[in-house]
Structure 1
Amino acid sequence: MTVHVIGAGVAGLAAALALVRGGQRVALHEAAPVAGGRCRALPDGTDNGTHALLGANRAALRFLVQIGAREGWVEPEPGGLPVLDLENGSARRVALSPLGWGDAARRPEGVTLGSLLALLRLALPGPDRSVADAFAHHPKLLRALVEPLTVAALNTPVGEASARRLGAVLRRLGGKGAARLLVARQGLGPDLVAPALATLACHGANLRTGSRLRGLVQEGGRVTGLDLGEAVQPIGPADAVVLALPPWEAVRLLPDLPVPTRHAPILNVHFNRLEEGPVRFLGLLGGLAQWVLVRPSGVSVTVSAADDSVGLNDSEAAARIWPEVREAALRFGLPGDWPVESPPARAVRERRATPRHGLNPPPAPPRRPLPNLALAGDWTLAALPATIEAAIRSGEAAAAALLSAQARQAVAA
């Protein structure tokens, strides 16, 4: 059996790896010039965004081990996340896990018995409501912890973000080590995408870039061909397909699929700054910048749920964000030169970065809408927000569905 994986983002890479580890031949097709999807590296080597993992992301960490890339992901702030509040000037290290809040110095502002109960209720099953409504009586904790976590994990403003979906995130953060923050030491290209492709190549998987799927040829309720523009790739009776595509592409090919139709943007700004020093990760409150990733090769800033800022041009974004970054760097004593004037910068805009994780989401699509076709993609999992973890889990689920179907067919034969 040959499985054609359409899309070489993280979901497609995870599906391909699970399939080759299951003994299948894999052909990987990617419409873009490079693999990685929203986790791709840009032509200048920088990442398209400031991506991080948590210790709770077990599927993602397992994937990194499988591709030999785990050591490339480091914990930049083991003592707690440095957070600067630009409105009141307070600077402190905050423990991301409630297990660390016994130390008052690492406790977020607004932690009270009532706000802790509100967090607990969020993690329990119940009727859905917005995150803002769930913490209406606890505005300090909402601002200091819950809102930053919501926009980072759900990429949706708290006024519309689903408390139930955020609760699914919180339930995964309770265990020991679950809230450890990890980032790629060099970047997503060398520390995620490149080792995944190298591992797949060792298993004989082929990657073809610039290969956009125009349409699916179907007969008898099965996929029999892939229209790749120049030619139609036949899909034999024993072959299969994984569609690891964003929802708008998946529904173009399979018009009856239930897919999310509303999306939220992310703005990323990358500053050129060559400076030796350790990898650092900072949080900001009360400004435009939210997360600051400092590497020797440059400074990357992420603005999630960026409805009001994704339209800024590069110079406007840099002019607003650099003073915030500089103030945080100086307050936390980051080494090197932090000039008043912004260094050269470029902005990367993902206008449809993730679905909007609001109330009453569309139902999850079937994992196998056709007998020889499985879906992958972070948007296909109803229980998790659209993250690297969800992308990998979805790819593994798509591979497992096809491998299970093949095993059943072998038994029946």
Structure 2
Amino acid sequence: MTDPGMVHVVGAGVSGLAAALALVREGRRVTLHEGAPVAGGRARALPDGTDNGTHALLGANRAALRFLERIGAREGWVEPEPAGLPVLDLESHVARRVALSPLGWGDARKRPEGVTLGSLLALLRLALPGADRSVAQAFAAHPVLLRALVEPLTVAALNTPVQEASARLLGAVLRRLGGRGAARLLVARNGLGPDLVAPALATLACHGAWLRCGERLRGLVQGGGRVQALEFAEMTLPIGPADAVVLALPPWEVARLLPGIPVPRRHAPILNVHFTRVAEGPIRFIGLLGGLAQWVLVRPDGISVTVSAADAEVALTDAEAAARIWPEVREAALRFGLPGDWPVTPPPARAVRERRATPRHGLNPPAAPPRQPLPNLALAGDWTLASLPATLEAAVRSGEAAAAALARAPRQPVAA
């Protein structure tokens, strides 16, 4: 008979959770190992339940949405702005709604500024093969559309300034937004903790998966071209002939454990500022141009603001960040008629700094790592996909790809 063995998924972020779910659905036994006190990785909620950042999905993120369906969490994700994304230009003080999909630009009221025949052709050229260049170079002749639409999308999706961001990779993102419903913006009603991580863990537990938290993987013991054991602080865990390993870890951890594997060496930070504000009202999502804040997520229990590609901004203190961002949030709230009081004085705030939030998605990225560097070991993580930026979608796809790689690997027969 063939022993299905145990698959040890190291890293319980979104990619690890996706890999574990795919594996248990194939009948494999799974143990999740997480070095942090709780699961979730960069998507996990903070100790008080607040998300570490402002996370959103688009209708084009089919793998992530399929994952939510499989864990019974899809209903927890809502569309806060079905009529188009509210956008406030903090320099001109013009407030309008913008359709994210070109299919909605037939309505001039929802068309981004700078849409001309020439700028549309520039967008279409992103889909064509050819030498890569920066986004800023690709739209140098169309500065209005660059500022109004292309730069915000680049910074949100690639977390890289347009002066260095890859136009080719942005093209891969934009191509996915062309279909009907692909540009629908979705956010977690209560946050990623309750609306993604918790239901994923509950589903895995129903399939018999185990979760071990608070113990970082120290090293891999290799022999005979395979992983023989996992070294943790308190124990060395043997990997049997039928067992396998998924490393769903950040690139610097994989580089430590598997020297020689190509990984991104340059990363970009994200600054998130969370304001304490309890007020009744619907969930709202607003984009800002020309200021420090870029995206504002308003929930009844608080306000979260994201600053991506925040190379300089991560140095701001909590008080400095709140003092600069709150007037921008307040103006947006008043212009779009959000209910409740919006005082001049900022409410209590806390900044969360992700200094290595994603790889820098510039030109000439490092080669993607092999999905299966050893017969019984596969890699997962948003950074392992060369075709997509490091997002929730890429994390889910990479986890499923790691599970599929192990499913294709021949299993060693074990005597009954």
Query: What are the equivalent positions in structure 2 for 1:185-196 lying under 5 Å apart?
Result: 185-196=189-200
The alignment status of 1:21 with 2:42, answered yes or no, reads: no
Query: What are the equivalent positions in structure 2 for 1:115-194 lying under 5 Å apart?
Result: 115-194=119-198
The alignment status of 1:45 with 2:85, answered yes or no, reads: no
Structure 2 segments unaligned to the other structure (5+ residues): none
Q: Give 1:344's aligned amino acid.
A: P
The alignment status of 1:64 with 2:46, answered yes or no, reads: no
The structural deviation recorded for 1:406 is: 3.7
The structural deviation recorded for 1:168 is: 0.4
Q: Which residue of 1 aligns with 2:233?
A: 229
The structural deviation recorded for 1:404 is: 1.2
Q: Could you list the per-position Cα deviations for residues 349-376 of structure 1 after superposition, in whole angstroms to 9, with x for gaps in the alignment? A: 0000000000000000000001100000
One of 276, 285, 291 as aligned partner of 1:287: 291
The structural deviation recorded for 1:125 is: 1.8
Q: Give 1:220's aligned amino acid.
A: G
One of 91, 113, 118 as aligned partner of 2:117: 113
**TM-score, normalised relative to structure 1:** 0.98
Q: Which residue of 2 aligns with 1:310?
A: 314
Alpha-carbon distance between aligned partners in 2 of 1:320 and 1:66, rounded to the nearest angstrom:
41
The alignment status of 1:388 with 2:392, answered yes or no, reads: yes
Alpha-carbon distance between aligned partners in 1 of 2:285 and 2:232, rounded to the nearest angstrom:
42
Alpha-carbon distance between aligned partners in 2 of 1:97 and 1:167, rounded to the nearest angstrom:
14
Query: What are the equivalent positions in structure 2 for 1:86-101 lying under 5 Å apart?
Result: 86-101=90-105
One of 357, 373, 381 as aligned partner of 1:369: 373
The alignment status of 1:33 with 2:51, answered yes or no, reads: no
One of 80, 85, 97 as aligned partner of 1:81: 85
What is the count of residue pairs matched by the alignment? 409
Structure 1 stretches (4+) deviating beyond 3 angstroms? none
Q: Give 1:205's aligned amino acid.
A: A
The structural deviation recorded for 1:127 is: 1.1
Q: Which residue of 2 aligns with 1:379?
A: 383
Q: Which residue of 2 aligns with 1:239?
A: 243
One of 338, 353, 361 as aligned partner of 2:342: 338
**TM-score, normalised relative to structure 2:** 0.98
Structure 1 segments unaligned to the other structure (5+ residues): none
Q: Give 2:332's aligned amino acid.
A: A
Tell me how large the CA RMSD over aligned residues is. Answer: 0.7
The structural deviation recorded for 1:100 is: 0.2
Alpha-carbon distance between aligned partners in 2 of 1:149 and 1:24, rounded to the nearest angstrom:
39
The structural deviation recorded for 1:71 is: 0.2
Q: Could you list the per-position Cα deviations for residues 204-254 of structure 1 after superposition, in whole angstroms to 9, with x for gaps in the alignment? A: 101110021000001111001000111100000000000000000001000
The alignment status of 1:54 with 2:54, answered yes or no, reads: no
The structural deviation recorded for 1:126 is: 1.6
Q: Could you list the per-position Cα deviations for residues 322-342 of structure 1 after superposition, in whole angstroms to 9, with x for gaps in the alignment? A: 000000000000001111100
One of 95, 102, 105 as aligned partner of 2:106: 102
1:214 partner SS: strand
Q: Give 1:383's aligned amino acid.
A: S
Alpha-carbon distance between aligned partners in 2 of 1:189 and 1:406, rounded to the nearest angstrom:
36
